Amino acid sequence: MNDPKTKAEALELTGYEVGPEALAIRPAPLERAWMNETNDAFAYRCLPLNVANQLGWELLCPTGFRASWDGRVEQEGISLEFDAEPSTVVLSHFGSGILTFRVRIVFRTSPGHDLWVSGPVNRPKDGIAPLEGLVETDWLPYTFTMNWIFTRPGHSVRFAAGEPIARIVPYPRGYAERFVPSLRALESDEKLQDQYWTWQYSREAFLESAGDASSEAARAGWQRHYMLGITHDGTEPAEHRTRIALPPFRKAPER
């Protein structure tokens, strides 16, 4: 388990709400409706999926509405039908089948940190896809928008009130550029090669025996090595996590 960050190590992520229509925000939860509906909820056996689900904070749709696009590039190509009073947060601003949400929060991060803005992770939506951006929020003094693009005309989509429409994650500026990528043959690392083939043979044997209802593999249901943080040869990593617990945004006291 990771030790809590000390005050000296803490980084800042502050949201300044611009008026009453600022979007609600919450830590991204583990659960997904489609994962619940898989056979025996097997999707939750995928630890990388679980951890990705919880990484960051989600911005929530302020009202229920239905949007459709007729294929035109003009702003008027998108039509909106709200469940109640129309919201100025949702609009067609750019045209070309792009649906826009005004976030109406000015985010500020610690120096050297951007904000990665994406669609809500592992929440597919038929007919429309989120557009992602990387924003330099350590100096930016204004808001940004979250945008979704229709993937085909003649199709309508529904967003429910409280549905996640964006995910934000702080990201160290230039982090990916610090890496030096390379490709090598597996045989060049003898230890890694042995670990890989130990896993591969074990995996094949497990899948082969899982078809026999009386087998140990069938009773186990799935192999848990990654979930437990251990390789097939018993090696344990220095760090391993199965959950992410992010704090919620809290209202700061008025000055």
Closest Cα to residue 54, out of 252, 250, 244, 233?
Answer: 244
Q: How far apart are CA 221 and CA 236, in angstroms?
A: 22
DSSP states of 179-209? -------GGG-HHHHHHHHHHHHHHHHHHHH
Task: Quote the pLDDT of residue 83.
Answer: 96
Task: Quote the pLDDT of residue 8.
Answer: 55
Judge whether 56 and 28 are in contact, CB under 8 Å: yes
Cβ-proximal residues to 122 (8 Å cutoff; 6+ apart), any chain: 32, 35, 49, 52, 53
Task: Quote the pLDDT of residue 1.
Answer: 43
Please give the torsion angle defined by the CA atoms of residues 98, 99, 103 and 107, in that order, rounded to the nearest 10 degrees. Answer: -20
What is the CB-side half-sphere exposure of residue 112 using CA atoms within 13 A? Answer: 4
DSSP designation for 62: S
- The stretch 91-107 carries a mean pLDDT of 97
Higher pLDDT, 200 or 205: 200
Task: Quote the pLDDT of residue 222.
Answer: 64
Neighbours of 115 (CB within 10 A): 21
Interval 204-218: pLDDT, tens:
887 777 777 777 766
Task: Quote the pLDDT of residue 219.
Answer: 67
Q: How far apart are CA 107 and CA 141, in angstroms?
A: 8
Q: Is the pLDDT of residue 17 over 50?
A: yes
Q: Is the pLDDT of residue 199 over 50?
A: yes
Task: Quote the pLDDT of residue 89.
Answer: 96
Q: Where are the domains of the chain?
A: 7-175, 182-246
Task: Quote the pLDDT of residue 255.
Answer: 67
Higher pLDDT, 58 or 10: 58
Interval 19-72: pLDDT, tens:
999 999 999 999 999 999 999 899 999 999 999 999 999 999 999 999 999 999
Task: Quote the pLDDT of residue 234.
Answer: 82
Structure tokens at 35: 């994962």
Q: What is the CATH number of domain 7-175?
A: 2.70.40.10
Angle value at C-alpha 64, between 86 and 66, nearest 5 degrees:
85
Interval 132-187: pLDDT, tens:
999 999 999 999 999 999 999 999 999 999 999 999 999 999 999 999 999 999 99
- The stretch 181-202 carries a mean pLDDT of 93
Interval 219-239: pLDDT, tens:
677 677 777 788 878 888 889
Nearest-Å Rg of the Cα atoms of the chain is 23
